[in-house]
Structure 1
Amino acid sequence: MDAIPGPHRSAGGLLPVGRERSDAAANRARILASAAVLSDQRGLANLRMDEVAEHAGVGVGTIYRRFGDRSGLILALVDHSEVEFQQAFLFGPPPLGPGADPLARIRAFVRAFVDRVVLRGEALLVAETSAPFGRFSRAYGLHHTHLASQIAAADPEADAAWLADAVLAAMSAELVQYQLDERRWTAERIVDGVLTLVAASVRTTS
């Protein structure tokens, strides 16, 4: 089932894409790219606005005007990553995007989701814990709807909504970061564990 049409949603869907001047859009892209590079190199805790500005070739005031503060920049980095992820599972090539069978799409979604948490875990953790129920206030609704629709297509008898919540809970940034940092698990082990949960819960006739 390839549901969820339309590329631009707000509450729980794709983050809205506003119209920007070309120079403002270019500055924003450079700033986010620089923030991603520097956070990958030094860790998010060591991300400094002045260093991002220098790396991006813009004034530090431009970053503050555009993103407000460091937390705003981090959340924008999450939003940018989220848009790319949503474009991939809604409109990209199979098996993550349309064209594959539902179970293959679920497996691909799990792998891509965990890979993204591994890459952007610190920023995602900030977004998840920035407010009460923060994990559910951004793109969670679209993730849940997409995953539930694929579960229902694979197994019409399953409680797809509950299972989608359970699978997403097993991939929360907080849990995955804990498993990576404290338990020293590999990303592959985490993916295999989530896929074991899926295999035990989703019964297919094929």
Structure 2
Amino acid sequence: MLSFETCNAARLRRDPKYDGCFFTAVKTTGIYCRPVCPAKHPLTRNVAYYPTAAAAEAAGYRPCLRCRPETAPFCPAWNGTRATVARAVKLINEGALDEDNVVTLATRLGISSRHLARLFERHIGATPQQLAKTLRVQRAKRLLDSGDHTMTDIAFQSGFGSLRRFNAAFAELYGRSPSSLRATRKRSVEPFRRSRG
């Protein structure tokens, strides 16, 4: 993880070179952002920095609806440091924890689940389960933004085992339901479509 000073300077400059290298969490709002977020800068004493979106979410922060941190390039901090972590992330991204558990994933990697948890804590800053949840919500958010799929289709295409878990994950992360997010997006896109029509 980069130093607080490096992250802070990059955030204040809105430096695109650091996009995806860290995430800024604002203690007063409970929201985390990309370093390039166009929102007004919070006071330095009110921020904390995390190496990944999953780490910020594990600490209790919600993603910013303005800069959409789920679209940031994935944090390269872990990249090249541990082949095991890279392989685990790839498997999780492919759905390894959608139906199986961490013990099964660790067995596939040839290590214990305890060792996998230590590696994730060191390189990702979150548990494998938290990363899986973050990736599921990110896939669901993209599907919500990109079409008119039913909520049930989005839930299952994103890797959630049920519509109830899908709704709960969104409520926990965004503080609102997926249908509420979709309605907000449609309201903001509609005037743009009319003005172009």
Q: Choose between structure 1 and 2: higher helix proportion.
A: 1
Same fold (TM over 0.5): no
TM-score (norm 1): 0.40
TM-score (norm 2): 0.41
